[in-house]
C-alpha cells in the first residue's frame, strides 16, 4: 500500500490524477488495499473492488482520450447505505432490503458521479439511521478507528470510520439530529451538515423532511468545500476567513453544562488558541434553547413512519413499511414500537406535534437568528458531544463526573439545535483525550451562511491542526 497516496486529501488526489502524476487505478488500488487492512472496523456493508477498478480504468481512459475532467475526476467516495445508488445495493442497514438495488441514484450521488467521482462502496450505518452508535445488529457493529472497542458514532458511522482510517478522503453521510456531526466528532475528522435544503435530499431514507440533510465527511475543510461546490453548484473558491476580530459566540448555559472534564479542557484550550489568534469570544445564552430537545423528538418520532412509507414507494423498493418493519432488529424495533408506530404508548399526539412544528420550532429559529444578529456573531462554537466515544454495546447511562446521564443526551444534546433549526454545522477535531480518543468542536452559522462557515472553518482548522492518523489494529 502506498501510504503517501492514502494520506492525500481529496483535493490533492484529484489534482494529481488530473495532472497525470498518479493514475486513477493506482489510487483506487491504494484505497482498496487500505479497506482490506481496516476490514475489522466493519465500515462497509457493500464493497465491490472490481467495480471500483473498472470505474478507475474508465477515468484513466477518459483522461488519455483528452476528455474534459471533472472536479472529482477518479475519486472513489464511500456512500452511507441510506442513500440510493443505481447498480449498488442500498440496504438502509436492515434485513428486508438486503440485495435491493435502486433503479436510480439520489440526485446528490448523480451530481458527484457527473463530476467524475466513483462510488467506493456503501458504508455501514445504525439501522434505518435511527440511532447514534452504528452498532448494527444485522450487519455488525462499526468500530472506531482510534479504539475498536468504542463506537464511531451514528448513524453515519461507517463513512466516518472509513474516512478516519484513510480508506477514502471524502465520504457521503446524512444528518437528522447529528448523524454527520456525531461520527465526525468521535472519529476525529471534519463533518459538514449544510443549511437544510442546500443539497438535494431525494433518494435518502428519511426521518423527517424538516431536519434530514445529506452532507459530507472529510479530513480537511477544503475537501468539504470541494463537495459543497460540486453538489450546490456554487463553484467560486472559498478562502480562509480572517480570525482577527472574528466574533465567536458561546452559550455556556446549554452546550457546556455537565460535559466531561477532558472534553471541557480540550474545548477551552481551543477557545484560548482562537482568542490568541485574534478571535473575539462572546458569551451569551440563546433565549429558550432548553426547549429544543422535546421539540426535536416530537417532530422526528411523529414523522418517521410516514416518511419511510413514502420513501419506499417513491424509490421502488421491493417491500412496504410493514414488511420492512417485520425484519427490523430488536433494538430499533423496540424504539419504534414505543414511540413511533400507530398506537405506540409514547406516540406524539397530533396537537403536540402541530405545536412543536408550527409554534415552538419557528420561535426557536427566530430566537437563534436574533442571537446571531444582536451579538454580531460570525459563528457559534460548542463541544460537539458531551463525552468522547463510549464502549460498543453500552447504551445505558453515561457517567460524567459521577453523575449518570442518558446516553442520547450525552451523545446528541449538543448537535440537536443545529439540525432542528436548519442551520449549517461544521465539526472539527480539537484534540485527543489521555486514552487517545478524539474530541471535537462544532461551529454553527446562521441559516444560509454555508460558504462563510466553511471559510471560518478553514481558518479555525489552521489554528487547531489535525489529529494523528489512527493506528489500525487487527
Q: Which residues are catalytic?
A: 80, 155, 179
DSSP H or E run through 249: strand 247-250
DSSP code of residue 144: B
* Backbone phi and psi for residue 267, each to the nearest 5 degrees, phi listed first: -70, -40
Question: Which residue's entry shows cell 412509507?
Answer: 309
Is there a cis peptide before residue 316, judged by omega within 30 degrees of 0? no
Q: Closest Cα partner for 292 from 134, 200, 414? A: 414
CA 382 to each of CA 131, 225, 257: distance values in angstroms, whole numbers, following the listed order: 21, 21, 11
Sequence-distant (≥ 6) Cβ neighbours of residue 56 within 8 angstroms:
23, 24, 25, 27, 28, 29, 74, 76, 118
Compute the radius of gyration of the chain from its Cα atoms. Answer: 21
Strands 118-123 vs 76-80: parallel, antiparallel or unpaired: parallel
Helices (H) then strands (E): counts for the chain: 18, 15
3-state secondary structure of 237: coil
Amino acid at each position: 500500500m502506498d501510504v503517501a497516496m492514502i494520506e492525500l486529501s481529496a483535493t490533492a488526489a484529484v489534482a494529481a490524477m488530473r495532472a497525470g502524476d498518479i493514475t486513477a487505478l493506482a489510487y483506487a488500488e491504494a484505497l482498496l488495499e487500505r479497506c482490506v487492512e481496516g476490514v475489522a472496523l466493519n465500515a462497509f456493508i457493500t464493497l465491490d473492488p472490481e467495480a471500483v477498478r473498472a470505474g478507475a480504468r474508465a477515468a484513466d481512459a477518459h483522461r488519455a482520450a483528452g476528455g474534459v475532467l471533472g472536479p472529482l475526476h477518479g475519486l472513489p467516495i464511500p456512500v452511507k447505505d441510506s442513500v440510493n445508488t443505481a447498480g449498488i445495493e442500498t440496504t438502509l442497514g436492515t434485513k428486508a432490503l438486503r440485495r435491493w438495488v435502486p433503479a436510480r441514484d439520489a440526485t446528490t450521488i448523480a451530481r458527484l458521479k457527473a463530476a467524475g467521482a466513483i462510488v467506493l462502496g456503501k458504508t455501514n450505518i445504525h439501522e434505518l439511521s435511527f440511532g447514534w452508535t452504528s452498532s448494527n445488529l444485522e450487519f455488525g457493529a462499526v468500530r472506531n478507528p482510534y479504539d475498536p472497542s468504542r463506537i464511531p458514532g451514528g448513524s453515519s458511522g461507517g463513512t466516518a470510520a472509513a474516512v478516519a482510517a484513510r480508506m477514502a478522503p471524502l465520504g457521503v453521510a446524512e444528518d437528522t439530529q447529528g448523524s454527520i456531526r456525531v461520527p465526525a466528532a468521535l472519529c476525529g475528522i471534519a463533518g459538514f451538515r449544510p443549511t437544510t435544503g442546500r443539497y438535494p435530499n431525494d433518494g435518502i431514507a428519511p426521518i423527517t423532511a424538516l431536519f434530514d440533510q445529506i452532507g459530507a465527511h472529510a479530513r480537511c475543510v477544503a475537501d468539504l468545500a470541494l463537495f459543497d461546490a460540486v453538489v450546490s453548484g456554487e463553484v467560486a473558491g472559498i478562502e480562509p476567513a480572517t480570525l482577527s476580530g472574528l466574533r465567536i459566540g458561546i452559550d455556556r448555559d446549554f452546550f457546556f453544562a455537565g460535559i466531561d472534564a477532558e472534553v471541557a479542557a480540550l474545548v477551552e484550550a481551543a477557545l484560548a488558541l482562537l482568542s490568541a489568534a485574534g478571535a473575539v469570544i462572546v458569551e451569551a445564552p440563546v433565549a429558550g434553547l432548553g426547549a429544543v430537545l422535546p421539540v426535536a423528538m416530537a417532530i422526528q418520532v411523529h414523522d418517521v413512519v410516514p416518511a419511510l412509507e413514502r420513501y419506499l414507494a417513491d424509490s421502488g423498493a421491493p417491500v412496504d413499511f410493514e414488511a420492512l418493519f417485520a425484519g427490523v432488529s430488536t433494538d430499533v424495533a423496540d424504539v419504534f414500537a414505543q414511540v413511533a408506530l400507530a398506537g405506540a404508548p409514547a406516540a406524539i399526539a397530533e396537537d403536540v406535534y402541530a405545536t412543536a412544528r408550527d409554534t415552538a420550532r419557528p420561535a426557536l429559529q427566530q430566537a437563534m437568528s436574533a442571537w446571531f444578529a444582536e451579538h454580531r456573531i460570525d459563528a457559534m462554537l460548542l463541544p460537539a458531544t458531551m463525552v468522547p466515544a463510549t464502549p460498543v454495546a453500552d447504551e445505558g447511562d453515561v457517567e460524567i463526573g459521577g453523575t449518570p446521564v442518558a446516553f442520547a443526551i450525552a451523545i446528541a444534546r449538543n448537535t440537536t439545535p443545529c439540525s432542528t433549526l436548519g442551520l449549517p454545522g461544521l465539526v472539527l477535531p480539537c484534540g485527543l483525550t489521555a486514552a487517545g480518543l478524539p474530541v471535537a468542536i462544532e461551529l454553527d452559522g446562521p441559516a444560509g451562511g454555508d460558504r462563510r462557515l466553511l471559510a471560518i472553518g478553514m481558518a479555525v482548522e489552521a489554528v487547531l491542526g489535525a489529529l494523528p492518523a489512527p493506528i489500525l489494529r487487527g
